[in-house]
Structure 1
Amino acid sequence: MLTTLAVENYRSLRRLVLPLRGLNVVTGANGTGKSSLYRALRLLADASRNGAVAALAREGGLQSTLWAGPEYVRKDRPVQGTRRTKSVGLRMGFAGDDYGYLMDLGLPVPLGSQFDLDPEIKREALWAGPFLRPAALLVERSGGEVRIRSGTGEWQRGGYQVQTFDSMLSEFADPERAPELLTVRERMRSWRFYDHFRTDADAPARRVQIGTRTTVLGPDGGDVAAALQTVREIGPRGALDEAIELAFPGSRVEIVNTVGRFEVAFHQHGLLRPLSGSELSDGTLRYLLWVAALLTPRPPELLVLNEPETSLHPDLLPALANLVITAAKEAQVIVVTHSRPFLAALGALTDEVHTIELVKDRGATTMAGQGPLDEPPWKWPTR
């Protein structure tokens, strides 16, 4: 389980070091940085697939994602530009009880290449334990050089070079050279993100599709029928029917299989025939998508949900909250939401909700009530 998440210089996240627990709810008013935190987590996950640089390019490049305010902020003076004294860097990292990892991206030295605007990975570090300290380092990268600590505690050097746009997570994670790096990479690759599901008339979730055993719902929800049937057959016994009954009393979901093509059939109290996926209301379909996602028979290390309450009627929030709490029994969960009723629904079912309220202070995102001494221990290495 992650115990600390740290982000620096990403959009409004000038410096944010957050404590994490099993079930975390990130809340706050519009514009306080909730979406930035969600995107920073996705960017960190992309690093495990060597896709951090490409992900930054999709956001407009490093320059458009960096903190836009001054390097130093003094509350007794108006916001104004100053001469920069530190190198430009976008830093992200996390720590858990067993391992921690961080990445520092910066601007390249211009060499006349067509790719001179591509960010470079300046530093990476993997360490044992919850805190970064020299004795706990297992693998570190500085510029293009990677060094790996052997089982005897000695640093292995020589021949460990990596391109500026490649992560050591992809280049050096193997059972022999760096088994710990392989472990952390596979954990990060298991992280699962769900954003706003499409429920419009042309949404993939409304179509009849060929079904195979689906332990993980796809990002677009197109395999929802197969995922629901998989939950019914190999998921928690009775969990699917219970989730439907809690949200829609007297209703049930059937998956119709026509020569291998799966379709949702929603039996609703008072109707003479079931409703197909194309006939379902947006809210009903979206709830079914969350059922398929949160009752997964193959839970991830980390499950991140972005505003799952969107387009759901308030009467469905207790049922959705119950799904989230069920998922949190098998995975660490981070929920990003601005809905106070949804937060209240979660709190009514469990006292283990860790609420992180984000606020803005002179343009920078901070955690409400967190002072400098309240942050979890965290240190960024120098370049």
Structure 2
Amino acid sequence: MNQPHLRFLITKNYKNLSLDQVVRLKNLNIFIGSNGSGKSNFISCLKFLKDSLTKIPDESRSVSSFEDAVAQIGSNRILDVSVESPARVRLAYCFSFSPLPRDSSILDLNIFVNRDNARGISIAEEYLYSGENLYDSTAFTPFYYYKFHAREVGKGAVSVYDEPGQVSKTHFEGLDNIPTNFLGLTAIPRLLEDSQSPPENTPVYKIRRDLIELVSKWQFYNANNMDLNLIRMAEPKIGGSDIYLSSSGDNLPLVLDNLTLDNIHFDESINQAMKAILPNSHRLRPIRSGRLSLTVEWYFRDVKEAFYLNEMSDGTVRMLCWATILHSPVLPSLLVIDEPELGLHVSWMPILAEWIKKAAIKTQVIITTHSPDLLDYFTDCLENVFCFYSEDKTHFSIKTLSKEMLNDKLEEGWQLGDLYRVGDPSIGGWPW
């Protein structure tokens, strides 16, 4: 992948997820594993980072974005139950901005957690540095954009170029009053207000902007959270700028309208997608409902009158949502979909799989699934399948599959979904 993306995630003491070894993510990532194996916890780590960096603090409750984000993923229960409290939870995110390892950056967080105090959570240490190797400093010396709370709580340092353009010569500039109740990355502009060095001499400004821009475009969907009744009945107001479907899907007509207006090819793309699942589909389009609202009108071959979403089946509405997301000309920088197969006819699985693969050519995609029928259509890309497994029945790690690992069974005619159905130990078994 040449576009910026998440390269890997490292965790320590975070719930049941034990990711102490680097497992590199790709453009297409299919997560499989039993219920409770850590797939949702992995995604929660990603949501936590987005919420910490992009949500507006709730000043009325004196709650920071970081505190609210931690509360959303479990508050003090983020600490592994087998670890004695208080302790630190580590979350390290590696981002790639080019194929070169040196152009990767790691945001490394250590969060202090006191299990006996729901509000006993704070940033213990926070680092942002270049490279992608967390364990071998001999590979090359990382460049630290900043180090916060490393030697003393509330204190830190940020790298500054000695002279403009002299990227090989830097020094650290000390900082005080660094908060522990929200990510230091979000506080950089305030922390550097009194700095004597101009922004162009302080490299953290650019990397901060790049990181926040990347993470702010992450989008998360869970089929269980798609409110089909709300989608059918919703008539969003004209004029909104939405280009991404909401988590509930209730802004579907508005997103369809905006994407159609912004891209001349989207209308054809979404209609071709619907013909793939409903051959008699002729055309669907967002239309004005009243003077200020939008709805979706759907025409079928040899039928004069239009149908509306409240007349369509659950599966059809779900597939329209996935088609809108996956065929969008404005894909998010990371697209996460939890169990997209829910409520869909088995005959649509190859179509859904093809949509996912095509979207992953343009952006980074993470799919979690329990569907053997969907997995069958990822047999041709085993290296993109990540299996969450446990060696001690308590903590879960990730391993990647490969053709070599399953070659004998593939030559016998087995598909990936077949192996999942019968609980083959090579892929973690199903459903246990």
Name the TM-score, length of structure 1 as normaliser. 0.82
Task: Return the letter of the residue paired with 1:119.
Answer: I
**Matched position secondary structure for 1:10:** coil
Match of 1:256 among 264, 268, 287: 287
Structure 1 residues 193 and 200: CA distance shift in structure 2, 3 A: closer
Is 1:243 matched up with 2:273? Answer: yes
Shift of 1:24: 0.7
Moved more, 99-108 or 24-33: 99-108
2:353 and 2:70 map into 1 onto residues whose CA distance is 33
Structure 1 residues 16 and 284: CA distance shift in structure 2, 3 A: farther
Task: Return the letter of the residue paired with 1:57.
Answer: A
Contact 1:256 1:262 in 2 (8 A): yes
Structure 1 equivalent of residue 154 of structure 2: 144
Structure 1 residues 262 and 116: CA distance shift in structure 2, 3 A: closer
Task: Return the letter of the residue paired with 2:81.
Answer: A
Deviations 1:203-240 (A, max 9, x none): 14532222335322222212111212333333445311
User: Which segments of 5 or more consecutive residues in structure 2 lack a partner in the other structure?
Assistant: 55-63, 163-168, 193-198, 402-432
Match of 1:10 among 7, 10, 14: 14
Structure 1 residues 269 and 68: CA distance shift in structure 2, 3 A: farther
Match of 1:56 among 59, 62, 70: 70
Structure 1 equivalent of residue 405 of structure 2: none
Equivalenced residue count is 348
Deviations 1:249-285 (A, max 9, x none): 1213122223242111222456553221222221111
Structure 2 equivalent of residue 104 of structure 1: 110
1:104 and 1:129 map into 2 onto residues whose CA distance is 19
Is 1:117 matched up with 2:124? Answer: no
Contact 1:47 1:167 in 2 (8 A): yes
Shift of 1:159: 3.6
Match of 1:356 among 386, 397, 410: 386
Structure 1 residues 269 and 30: CA distance shift in structure 2, 3 A: farther
**Matched position secondary structure for 1:334:** strand
Shift of 1:155: 3.6
Structure 1 residues 282 and 346: CA distance shift in structure 2, 3 A: same
Contact 2:112 2:120 in 1 (8 A): no
User: Which segments of 5 or more consecutive residues in structure 1 lack a partner in the other structure?
Assistant: 72-83, 371-383
Structure 2 equivalent of residue 376 of structure 1: none
2:113 and 2:36 map into 1 onto residues whose CA distance is 27
Shift of 1:161: 2.6
Is 1:65 matched up with 2:78? Answer: yes
Contact 1:127 1:138 in 2 (8 A): yes
Structure 1 equivalent of residue 38 of structure 2: 33
Structure 1 residues 346 and 154: CA distance shift in structure 2, 3 A: same
Counterparts of residues 247-286 of structure 1 (less than 5 Å): 247-251=277-281, 252-258=283-289, 259-269=291-301, 271-286=303-318
Structure 1 residues 137 and 205: CA distance shift in structure 2, 3 A: farther
1:2 and 1:67 map into 2 onto residues whose CA distance is 24
Contact 1:282 1:311 in 2 (8 A): yes
Structure 1 equivalent of residue 128 of structure 2: 126
Match of 1:231 among 259, 265, 290: 259
Match of 2:184 among 157, 165, 168: 168
1:57 and 1:249 map into 2 onto residues whose CA distance is 46
Structure 1 residues 347 and 233: CA distance shift in structure 2, 3 A: farther
Identity %: 22
Contact 1:139 1:149 in 2 (8 A): yes
Is 1:91 matched up with 2:90? Answer: yes
Shift of 1:13: 0.5
**Matched position secondary structure for 2:297:** strand
Is 1:21 matched up with 2:48? Answer: no
1:159 and 1:249 map into 2 onto residues whose CA distance is 63
Match of 2:247 among 219, 235, 247: 219
Which structure has more relative contact order (CA 8 Å, sep 6+)? It is 1
Shift of 1:347: 4.1
1:125 and 1:101 map into 2 onto residues whose CA distance is 6
Contact 1:199 1:286 in 2 (8 A): no
Structure 1 residues 109 and 228: CA distance shift in structure 2, 3 A: closer
Deviations 1:278-337 (A, max 9, x none): 222211111111122222332222111111111111122222222212221221111111
Task: Return the letter of the residue paired with 1:358.
Answer: F
Moved more, 40-49 or 50-59: 50-59
